[in-house]
Amino acid sequence: MTITLYELVGVDAARPFSPHCWKVAFALAHKGLDFTTVPLPFTQIGAIEGGATKTVPLIRDGETLVGDSFAIALHLEEAYPDRPSLFGGEGGVALSRFIEKWANATLVPFVGASLLPEIHAALEEDDQAYFRQTREARFGGALEDVARGREERLEAFRNALVPLRAVVKRQPFLGGEGPLFADYIVAGVFQWARVISPFPFIAEDDPVADWFERCLELHDGLGRRVPAA
């Protein structure tokens, strides 16, 4: 039975960009599960599955609906134990939480703020109004003002990648020799950036860039199917 992944898009339905939806797409591919995607703009998410969710990702797996990327990964791990593991054991589940919190604290604020105008530009008209209103309230300023100065803040962002850089210099993936959900948590953020913007969040000669390239190669080049912005 095919799993349905509801995911976020803008004008171009072939360019999903949500980091959390990418985490799930990578996780489904990692498990070798067939899935179809339902692309949605922000303002249609509330109407799907009888109003089941306000946010995506959401998956339908048979009779089961699951939202939240980490919860989806846990569901897949439990429902498909014979497929390649997303966590490599209980320790991997617990420590993936740290990776998630690190990504949310260290990567998402700068990347998210930096992308605001370009995400806005990629959206349909109804979504643009929704996005501007909600994000300007959240960030406390005009989208363009929040993103301004990202060039000056880039060095600090790249410096904050030290733990990631140190690990992927000594092993191919955060997960070790092969990827785990922890890799997808972080790669999802950089894929969000890659699909939306040509801004060079990662320096070309950074081992993090090599790691991200390895992530884009995974699962028959799933991440690369969407060309970079």
Yes or no: say if 187 and 212 are a contact pair by the CB < 8 Å rule.
yes
**DSSP code at position 12:** -
Amino acid (one-letter) located at 122: A
36 — phi, psi (to 5°)? -115, 150
Nearer to its own copies, 173 or 192 (CB): 173
The reply on whether position 143 binds its own copies by CB under 8 A is: no
Q: Interface with its own copies includes 175 (CB under 8 A)?
A: yes
By CB under 8 A, tell whether 94 contacts its own copies.
yes
Residue 26 sits in the site that holds its own copies (CB under 8 A): no
- For the CB of residue 73, give the shortest distance to its own copies in the complex, in Å: 12
Q: Which residue has the tokens 């109407």?
A: 47
89 sits near its own copies (criterion: CB under 8 A): yes
Q: Counting contacts by CB under 8 A, is residue 73 touching its own copies?
A: no
Q: Which is nearer to its own copies, 3 or 180 (CB)?
A: 180
The tokens for 108 are 């998402």
What tokens were used for 208?
């993090």
Torsion of CA 114, 120, 123, 128, to 10 degrees: 150
93 binds its own copies (CB under 8 A): yes
- Give the count of residues interacting with its own copies (CB under 8 A): 32
Interface stretch with its own copies, choices 87-95, 124-132, 145-153, 196-204 (CB under 8 A)? 87-95
State how far the Cα of 172 lies from the Cα of 155, in Å rounded to an integer.
Answer: 24
Binding mask 98-127 toward its own copies (x if CB under 8 A, else -) reads xx-xx-xxx---------------------
Nearest Cα neighbor of 190 from 220, 150, 224 is 224
Of 125, 148, 124, 145, the C-alpha closest to 135 is 145
69 binds its own copies (CB under 8 A): no
Summarize as ranges the residues that interact with its own copies (CB under 8 A). 85, 87-99, 101-102, 104-106, 162-164, 166-167, 170-171, 173-176, 180, 182
